Structure 1
């Protein structure tokens, strides 16, 4: 029996906020929503009308790789895009991360079963070839384009077994040029990651991603719709469902419809007509009303290009005191000369960070703590005692867990200054106890704050 999928809670720090995803990938549904497909399902083709013209999208993937991308491949692909955006969307298109981070972001367990799933997904995402005609939105030039690409252009796995993901594996994944350019041109849409990863079935998660993309006008992503109507068989083609008989299509979608309605994402699913003329109308649930907490602090976050709804959510979730102190930490980091492609993304990450990835050697937070707020004052806390408790909790983790906690921080700070093999060696040194993960993170963070990144890199290469 396969291990159960990992359930996320509302307190998971990586999933509390609304995030972004590339809008073309989401709208086109490049990956079949079905959890399992027959081995001979190696190609599909979809025709659709867009702006009064015929658009077309097709996929081919060899049978020896398990057919076309499907099921959990969608969770893996979505996780890669999310990590790519979070790390500043580098022009190279390279995502350097660990297997455990990809699985965490995909909402999957970090165990042998899902190591195999990740290995197979990477192979399919690289081998599958997509061909499109008048289907891909070029946001920068406001036009529809054609072309051919693979979701993953190339990838490297640094692990104990050749080309196979194992515990502690370091991944270097190069995304398709089209996806990279689209993200860098900010053709992105919101995605509620907490809701997504809380859904039980891969099929429900896949349908949610596709439906949520259909809520937005592809030519103007600021416009959203209250409902979406589609012919049942055309929808089956967009979902890449194998058996296109109308009764089978409805049964395939039934469980996902039920879960999305129970969770409030869908208000209703209306079925009209008979046979091949059946249509589905998805009526979306009401959006969460805007919050009106601490407009002054929200306005300050907005000046740093944090979206207003996200800024309001940050203040509501974490409180004024934490947001103010983390804002001071963010300002100190920038003042130290730290360069980042997306300051707003860094600010949000600093505010929601529960793992203390970002230290404050300048003492800016102490000063921020003197700011008067409208909330009742909290009991005094000894910062030294807090540090000791945090260090003790970290040291109580296994060496493998310490290494897994440390790697995302090092990758965020150093980005592509180190290659995959170097990151793998550093992780091995920490996991084997030859280097102290906590001390390394503190030393590298302090070095980056103080403009001594080259010095830190030199020390790391000696591990």
Structure 2
């Protein structure tokens, strides 16, 4: 097998059918007895899934996701051999699974491979019998591996017996896939995983969730949906989470949600309802969407930008955003050395991004003390540009104010949500939405005030006042 083939691959071909069942739990630790036999029944995107799992070594979990994806990647790189056999080594499998080259990894590889070998499951599909109330069920037993041949590194114990060791790093490892698993990978019913994204996801539960989301996000026709709505309890079953309490499920998902959002795979995760009836709405980043990391950098810079403006700048001027932020920060820092105060940092940033060559953004450096101040002419020109940018923002705000109340809410909802929703209870957010839609509150005014409060570090005081208004 070519090592370069694995390193240079940009995608991993994953079976959509098996991935949708969520056989590998995203939990890192499971109750061993419960994980040896389980039943999953759930509905995702209108499709019903029923499965019984049997695993005498325990259900695959956590980092086992990396191992099965590594095996799939090797199977594809080797050309989907007709004998369904992956011939590799512990080191090559570790590389394909994005795992570090150390002793603990080879212990994990051994345990993970054996768990998949000993995991079988029955999938069910129901059929109504015409003219009768009875339902006939078609059952099919499936599994991952037929056979594993591997060398083990270990030491003899005191009694002379060979203690359990770890998978050999360099000796030959053979994994024979079941015909069903191999055929599923060869078929067109697959989904591709972004290898670079997988490499950047740090936590195994987030990688497991990414795999599950990717499988369910793609329709049978291959279309990638922009959003996916799931019942929390159905999603718990699909994720292999054992605790059914809504608060525990959300806590188990929270870190994975945050990581996938930070990496730009998700743009938001909305919740609808509460408790056992809660639904999750996953919003996926689409082609052409702004880089969420750049958007967050623009907001964190506290230059007075609304979310909408930050998204626009990140989309249109992505290569220069970081330099632009540093440029404005340098101008603000220069005030201590006698420089002119920056009246409108947001306007200055917009002007700089529109004319990067003029502002030399590619050569931005923190200005050391004693540097020659800008000439009066350049200061006056910059002030005019700042004033023009401020006038543009004020014009946009006035246009927004003139819209009907329900359209104001539609335009401002996403920005207000980013600024306020985590600081408001679900009931307060609903009240805010209702009062904005009917015109009791102006969404445009709220957004302007909240954005200004965030820029001046007064957001918490503003939220306290807003909570009082909503009572």
TM bin (shorter chain): 0.5 to 0.7
Picking from 185, 190, 195, the partner of 2:187 is 185
Q: Tell me, yes or no, if the aligned pair for 2:124 and 2:140 is still in contact at 8 Å.
A: yes
The 5 A counterparts of 1:34-433 are 34-41=27-34, 42-49=36-43, 54-62=48-56, 65=57, 67-134=58-125, 146-160=139-153, 164-217=166-219, 219-221=220-222, 223-287=223-287
- For residues 246-295 of structure 1, the C-alpha deviation after alignment (integer angstroms, 9 at most, x for no partner) is 00000000001011111111011000101111000000012369xxxxxx
* CA gap 1:134/1:197 in 2 versus in 1, 3 angstroms: farther
Matches within 5 A, 1:447-458: none
* 8 Å CA contact 1:157, 1:164 repeated in 2: no
Structure 1 partner of 2:11: 18
Q: Does the 8 Å CA contact 1:80/1:95 hold for their aligned counterparts?
A: yes
Distance 1:209 1:50 in 2: 15
| 1:14 alignment partner, SS class | helix
Tell me the equivalent position of 1:402: none
Paired with 2:170 and 2:115, the residues of 1 have a C-alpha distance of 22
Q: Please give the per-residue CA displacement for 1:385-419, whole angstroms capped at 9, x wherever unaligned.
A: xxxxxxxxxxxxxxxxxxxxxxxxxxxxxxxxxxx
Is this contact kept in 1: 2:150–2:168, CA < 8 A?
no
Q: How many residues align?
A: 266
Tell me which stretches of 4 or more aligned residues in structure 1 moved more than 6 Å.
50-53
8 A Cα contact 1:112 1:166, kept in partner: no
Work out whether residues 16 and 194 of structure 1, in 8 Å CA contact, stay in contact via their aligned partners in 2: no
Q: CA deviation at 1:15?
A: 5.2
Alpha-carbon distance change, 264 to 54 in structure 1, aligned in 2, over 3 angstroms? closer
3-state DSSP of counterpart to 1:210: helix
CA–CA distance in structure 1, aligned partners of residues 33 and 7 of structure 2: 38
SS at 1:19 equivalent = strand
Secondary structure of the structure 2 residue equivalent to 1:147: strand
1:248–1:22 distance in 2 versus 1, CA, 3 Å: same
Cα separation, 1, equivalents of 2:5 and 2:83: 30
Report if aligned partners of 2:6, 2:77 keep a CA contact under 8 Å in 1: no
TM (norm. structure 1) is: 0.54
Shift of 1:25: 2.3
Which has more radius of gyration? Answer: 2
Distance between the aligned counterparts of 1:235 and 1:53, measured in 2?
A: 13
Distance 1:51 1:251, change over 3 A: closer
- State the SS of the aligned residue for 1:180: helix
Deviations 1:118-151 (A, max 9, x none): 111111111111111139xxxxxxxx97411221
| Cα pair 2:12 2:69 within 8 Å, conserved | no
Partner SS, residue 121 of structure 2: strand
Deviations 1:183-212 (A, max 9, x none): 223322221011012101000010011111
- Uncovered stretches (5+) of structure 1, i.e. residues with no partner: 1-10, 136-143, 290-463
Distance of 1:16 and 1:85 partners within structure 2? 10
Residue pair 1:159, 1:170 contacting (<8 A) in 2 also: no
C-alpha spacing 1:117/1:288, structure 2 compared with 1 (3 Å): farther
What is the TM-score of this pair, normalised by structure 2?
0.53
Does the C-alpha gap of structure 1 residues 146 and 86 become closer, same or farther in structure 2, counting only changes over 3 Å? farther
Give the unaligned 5+ runs of structure 2.
127-136, 155-161, 290-471
Higher helix share: 2
Q: Distance in 1 between matches of 2:30 and 2:274?
A: 27
> Conserved in 2, the CA contact under 8 Å of 1:159 and 1:168?
no
Q: Distance in 2 between the 1:188 and 1:145 partners?
A: 23
CA-atom RMSD in angstroms: 2.5
Q: How has the CA–CA distance of structure 1 residues 287 and 12 changed in structure 2, closer, same or farther, with 3 Å as cutoff?
A: farther
* Cα pair 2:152 2:166 within 8 Å, conserved: yes
Report how far residue 44 of structure 1 moved. Answer: 2.1
Give the drift of 1:58.
Answer: 1.9
Alignment partners' CA distance in 2, 1:164 and 1:109: 14
Instruction: Please state whether the residue corresponding to 1:36 is helix, strand or coil.
Output: coil
**Structure 2: how far apart are the matches of 1:114 and 1:51?**
36
Partners of 1:147 and 1:51 in 2: CA distance: 22
Asked if the contact 2:24–2:61 (Cα under 8 Å) also holds between the matched residues in 1, the reply is yes
Are the aligned partners of 2:16 and 2:189 in contact in 1 as well (CA < 8 Å)? yes
> Cα distance 1:209–1:53, how it changes in 2: closer, same or farther (>3 A)?
closer
SS in 1 for 2:167: coil
